[in-house]
Every structure is written in C-alpha cells, then in structure tokens.
Structure 1
Amino acid sequence: MTSLPGGSDNGGFATEPRPLVCARCGKPAEGPQPTWTCSVENGTRNYFCDTCARDNLRAIEGRLDSAWW
C-alpha cells in the first residue's frame, strides 16, 4: 500500500485532495473526470480538461515515442 507524502503513516496528517484544475485553461473539475488527460512533466503532474486535450492532441502525441502510437 502506498500513501501520499505527509500522510498519516509518515507521522503527518492526511491531507484533503486538491481540487482538479486544468493546467492550460484553469477550468475546475466538477466531480470525476475520466476524459481528462494527465501528463507528468519535470516530475510534476499536470491535468488537462477534455477540451484542451482534444485541441492539443497532436502536440501531446508528438512527445510520445513511436512505440506508444
């Protein structure tokens, strides 16, 4: 089992999950967002709403090795 940094098993307190916000347009998520895209860039997770992900799909795929497509 794994936990978030600073969780109760590390001697800290469990933190509330942060609201999901699109890294490109700033749109807040309302409930679960299975169509959003997650990108890890320089060790940081960035989430993109479905509209921004669709608008930038070519750029997103362009960063993948050809084995992924």
Structure 2
Amino acid sequence: MTSLPGGSDDSGSPVEPPPLVCGRCGARAGSPQPTWTCSVENGARQYFCDGCSRENLRAIEGRLDSAWW
C-alpha cells in the first residue's frame, strides 16, 4: 500500500511534518512560512529564513549554492 505525504500514521491521526529549519542560521518555523526561501541544491531541499534570504538576495538571484554565500 502506498500513502501520500502528509497522510496519517497507523492510528489514523494526521502525521505532522517536521519543523522547518533554516539551512544557514538554524532558525526554526513550525510550518511553511511564505517569507522563507526553498532551494534545491545537489538534489536536497533546503529552506532559508526571511532574514538569511534578504541578506543573500543577490547570491540567490544569481543561483549560487548557499555554500558560496
């Protein structure tokens, strides 16, 4: 049997996604934030808080991986 992401566990209760953690400063958010940036680098999804996103806007727009920031 295949289940969709964010489905439910064996008890039937909804499964909560893990909290988002900023890949740069480690800030945490309980749910997806509209001001955070999502980046796929080397096949892995990373999230960056609004502060880190603002500080590195030129690098993000230039499509540089976060290692270059």
CA RMSD of aligned residues (A): 2.6
| TM-score using structure 2 length | 0.67
- Structure (1/2) with the larger strand percentage: 2
**Paired residues for 1:1-69 under 5 Å:** 3-4=4-5, 16-63=16-63
Structure 1 stretches (4+) deviating beyond 3 angstroms? 12-16
Asked if 1 retains the 8 angstrom alpha-carbon contact of 2:21 and 2:28, the reply is yes
| TM-score using structure 1 length | 0.67
Unpaired segments of 5 or more residues in structure 2? 65-69
- Structure (1/2) with the larger helix percentage: 1
**Matched residues, percent identical?**
69
Paired letter, 2:27: K
